[in-house]
Chain A
Amino acid sequence: GEDVEQSLFLSVREGDSSVINCTYTDSSSTYLYWYKQEPGAGLQLLTYIFSNMDMKQDQRLTVLLNKKDKHLSLRIADTQTGDSAIYFCAETYLNSGNTPLVFGKGTRLSVIA
């Protein structure tokens, strides 16, 4: 079955690094995503990683994937107040963007100035 778990809250000081963690259970997952949702808004795609990769870096964002432990993390370097939002981890279990995304409940990141 498919299940994505995330911790619900994270608080960091401005300028520090944030690390948001996610675990998934579907062993056939091939794409794993991070989306950002600001209050009252839709989902903004931040980054994604293929399950045959271990790491992906995109400016301030670093994604790490541990396939053995089914653990995904998103690191945000030099966290800013504008990074305050809910971050969702999501997986798809087939190699296509046309399959349903399975989401976690989201991690609310609060950045303290």
Chain B
Amino acid sequence: DAGVTQSPTHLIKTRGQQVTLRCSPKSGHDTVSWYQQALGQGPQFIFQYYEEEERQRGNFPDRFSGHQFPNYSSELNVNALLLGDSALYLCASSFTSDTQYFGPGTRLTVL
């Protein structure tokens, strides 16, 4: 049984560009949450998707958007990239009333 998978592993972009990160949840999970982990910090909650809708959102600007597909996989989009968006982006999946399990993350570097 595959766990949570994310792609790509690493990504380098320049300021002002747009990026899309992808996540496939663990089998049987229906909820996907995205977190941003800056260097030396703990993960910060971006948003959560359930039944293809954004259910909760953390303190992130509208440049951060997402989508969930009928197969429960999810995308995180970031527009107008800033240097400060450089971070490890973590996806976590869960099933109702279950614990969140994390993927390996996507390392985004903005130059």
> A42 to B97, Cβ gap below 8 A?
no
Residues of B in contact (CB 8 Å), total 31
Taking CB atoms, residues of chain B closer than 8 Å to A96 are 96-97
Q: Which of A42, A98, A101 is in CB contact (< 8 Å) with B50?
A: A98
Measured CB to CB, the residues of B under 8 A from A are: 4, 6, 31, 33, 35, 40-45, 48, 50, 55-56, 58, 90, 92, 94-105, 107
In the complex, residue of chain B having the shortest beta-carbon distance to the beta carbon of A44: B102
Q: Which of B58, B97, B103 is in CB contact (< 8 Å) with A98?
A: B97
In the bound assembly, the distance between CA atoms of A41 and B6 in angstroms comes to: 12
Measured CB to CB, the residues of A under 8 A from B are: 4, 31, 33, 35, 40-45, 48, 88, 90, 95-106
In the assembled complex, the CB of B22 is this many whole angstroms from the nearest CB of chain A, namely 14
> B90 to A98, Cβ gap below 8 A?
no
> A104 to B102, Cβ gap below 8 A?
no
In the assembled complex, the CB of A88 is this many whole angstroms from the nearest CB of chain B, namely 6
In the bound assembly, the distance between CA atoms of A40 and B106 in angstroms comes to: 10
Q: A97-B95, A97-B97 are in contact. List 9 more A-B contacts (CB 8 A).
A: A4-B42, A42-B4, A45-B102, A97-B94, A97-B100, A98-B50, A103-B43, A105-B41, A106-B41
> A100 to B48, Cβ gap below 8 A?
yes
Taking CB atoms, residues of chain B closer than 8 Å to A43 are 43, 90, 92, 102
> B58 to A48, Cβ gap below 8 A?
no
In the complex, residue of chain B having the shortest beta-carbon distance to the beta carbon of A99: B56
Name the 3 nearest CB pairs between A and B, nearest first: A103-B42, A100-B45, A43-B102
In the bound assembly, the distance between CA atoms of A42 and B55 in angstroms comes to: 23
Q: Which of A88, A101, A105 is in CB contact (< 8 Å) with B100?
A: A101
> A41 to B104, Cβ gap below 8 A?
yes
> A98 to B40, Cβ gap below 8 A?
no
Q: Given A41-B104, A42-B103, A97-B97, A105–B40 Cβ distance below 8 Å? A: yes
In the assembled complex, the CB of B30 is this many whole angstroms from the nearest CB of chain A, namely 9
In the bound assembly, the distance between CA atoms of A90 and B100 in angstroms comes to: 11
Taking CB atoms, residues of chain A closer than 8 Å to B41 are 105-106
